[in-house]
Every structure is written in structure tokens, then in C-alpha cells.
């Protein structure tokens, strides 16, 4: 706990955007950033507003973070938009989130395409309400040949379910004689996840002060650096992302090995 508190203080005492941009090493940027965009509800509550205002404000943060990831030429950004557990929220809140998703994609798809973003829904998104599903399919189709940032939108996503689905597909391949059980290795599993072919996240950001993984990218986060902030997601701006990057670049990643091995 004490370490985390120190980490917040350090991160939040960071200088402003221009200064941060000067010290970031463009050669050592993460290839893949994952974000748990938490705190929309508390942001709204703090202002005496309905939770839906927090989600709407959260979309603005998302747009800003997508933009800076494009500018920095980050390869993959994965954002947790809706978990398999979020169905437990009141029906109106779920509907509101789905409407926001549809609006975000309809309004932004052209701009996203101009920036070379490829929209890639991950999760059991085919089970989302029809309009959300169709809009996601439209965005994925329109952006599929783009070569810039891959924007993984985790929707109706659960890490345990993702691994379970991978196991099921691998077992089917074995049963059908396409794969030998003795040949199954780490790569086989990775190849059956929604993120197949993508690098694992180098950096995970979680906003709003909680210290949980919340069933997000359970396999892929094995050696990911974690950066936490007390900021609520709607307050998370470019300078916060840059602070996270500066902190990330100061870390020594050993992947279970030894320093300078």
C-alpha cells in the first residue's frame, strides 16, 4: 500500500505536457498500452450529476488518448469498455453505454480512419444489442485496411471467458486431428486469444485509485508494467498518459530474468 501511495505521488508531481514530451524517449515507447478506464460514475457523482454524464465525459478522454497514441505511433491500444460483469448494472446504464458506443463510432469513424486507426472489437461483442453490434461491425469493416493504431475495444469482454474460449478451440482442433496435444505450447494459447498476432501489453493503466485487474487481459498481462493513478477516467488527459510513459521508461523490465542479462 505504502509503495503504491508513493507511486501516485511521484506520478502526480510530473511536469506538464511540453516538458514530458521533451523527456520521452521515442525509441523506448510501449508497443501496446492497455487501459482500465475506471471512475466515470464517481466523477459524475462528485459533481452531483447522473452517472451517464460521467460516461459521456469518459468518451472525451478516450478520444484524446487515441489521438496521442496515434501521434506517438503506438501500435496497439486496448481499452476496457464493457466487461462481461457490467451486465449486472441497471438496465438504463447499460443502454446508455451502448448508445454512447454507437454515437462514438458513428461520429468518429471518419476521423479515426483519417488517422489510420483500425477499430478491432474484442470480447463476445456479437452478443451486444443489435445496433451496437452492427455499428461495431461497420467500424471494423471501414477501418480494416488501416495500418496505424490498432484500437482494441474490449466489449462484453472477460479474461477468464477469453481463455476458456481459447481452450475450447484448442480442444476442438485436437479432437478433429488438426493439432497434437503434445504440440500445445504457450504460443498455441496466445494464438487463440482475441489479441492473436499482437504484442502483449507493455503498460497497463488503471484510473481512479483501485488496485485490481478486474478480469482484464489475464493471460496477456503476465509481464506488463502497471501504472495507477487516482484521477477519474474523465479527468485523464494527454499529460497523464505522458506521465505514465515517463514512469514506464524509468522501469527495468526483467521478465523474470536478471538485470542486464
Binding positions for ligand FPP, rule: CB under 6 A: 37-42, 55, 58-59, 62, 81-82, 86, 97, 100-101, 104, 153, 208, 233
**Between residues 4 and 168, which has the closer beta carbon with respect to ligand FPP?**
4
245: helix, strand or coil: helix
Out of 38, 156, 200, 202, the active site residue is 38
In which element (H, E) is residue 119 found? strand 118-122
156 in catalytic set: no
User: What residues form DSSP beta bridges with 36?
Assistant: 206
To ligand FPP, the closest distance from the beta carbon of 140 in angstroms equals 14
Alpha carbons 10 and 247: distance in angstroms, whole number: 9
In the bound state with ligand FPP, the residue whose beta carbon lies nearer, of 40 and 78, is 40
Q: Which is nearer to ligand FPP, 21 or 221 (CB)?
A: 221
Q: Which is nearer to ligand FPP, 58 or 148 (CB)?
A: 58
Q: Please name every residue paired with 119 in a beta bridge, in sequence order, or none if there are none.
A: 151
Cβ neighbourhood burial of 256 (10 Å; 0-12, 13-18, 19+): exposed
Please give the grid coordinates belonging to residue 93. Answer: 446504464
Task: CB nearer to ligand FPP: give 98 or 246.
Answer: 98
The reply to whether 86 belongs to the active site is yes
Residue closest to ligand FPP (Cβ) = 41
CA 4, 77, 202, 29 torsion-angle sign? negative
CB of 55 to ligand FPP, least distance (A): 5
Which of these is catalytic: 86, 99, 215, 230? 86
Rounded to a whole number of angstroms, the minimum distance from the CB of residue 175 to ligand FPP is: 36
Residue 57 CB, nearest distance to ligand FPP (Å)? 8
CB of 212 to ligand FPP, least distance (A): 11
Catalytic residues: 38, 86
Amino acid at each position: 500500500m505504502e509503495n503504491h501511495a508513493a507511486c501516485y505521488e511521484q506520478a502526480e508531481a510530473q511536469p506538464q505536457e511540453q516538458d514530458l514530451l521533451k523527456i520521452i524517449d521515442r525509441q523506448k515507447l510501449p508497443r501496446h498500452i492497455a487501459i482500465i478506464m475506471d471512475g466515470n460514475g464517481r466523477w459524475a457523482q462528485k459533481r452531483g450529476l447522473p452517472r451517464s454524464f460521467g460516461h459521456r465525459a469518459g468518451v472525451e478522454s478516450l478520444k484524446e488518448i487515441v489521438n496521442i497514441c496515434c501521434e506517438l505511433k503506438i501500435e496497439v491500444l486496448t481499452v476496457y469498455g464493457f466487461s462481461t460483469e457490467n451486465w449486472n448494472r441497471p438496465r438504463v446504464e447499460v443502454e446508455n453505454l451502448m448508445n454512447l458506443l454507437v454515437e462514438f463510432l458513428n461520429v468518429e469513424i471518419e476521423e479515426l480512419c483519417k488517422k489510420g486507426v483500425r477499430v478491432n472489437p474484442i470480447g463476445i461483442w456479437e452478443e451486444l444489442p443489435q445496433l451496437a453490434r452492427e455499428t461495431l461491425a461497420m467500424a471494423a469493416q471501414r477501418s480494416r485496411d488501416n495500418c496505424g493504431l490498432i484500437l482494441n475495444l474490449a466489449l462484453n469482454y472477460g479474461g477468464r471467458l477469453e481463455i476458456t474460449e481459447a481452450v475450447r478451440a484448442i480442444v476442438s482442433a485436437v479432437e478433429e486431428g488438426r493439432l497434437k496435444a503434445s504440440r500445445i505450447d504457450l504460443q498455441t494459447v496466445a494464438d487463440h486469444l482475441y489479441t492473436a498476432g499482437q504484442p502483449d501489453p507493455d503498460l497497463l493503466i488503471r484510473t481512479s485509485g483501485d488496485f485490481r485487474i478486474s478480469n482484464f487481459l489475464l493471460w496477456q498481462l503476465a509481464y506488463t508494467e502497471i501504472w495507477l493513478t487516482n484521477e477519474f477516467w474523465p479527468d485523464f488527459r494527454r499529460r497523464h498518459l505522458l506521465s505514465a510513459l515517463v514512469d514506464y521508461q524509468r522501469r527495468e523490465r526483467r521478465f523474470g530474468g536478471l538485470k542486464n542479462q
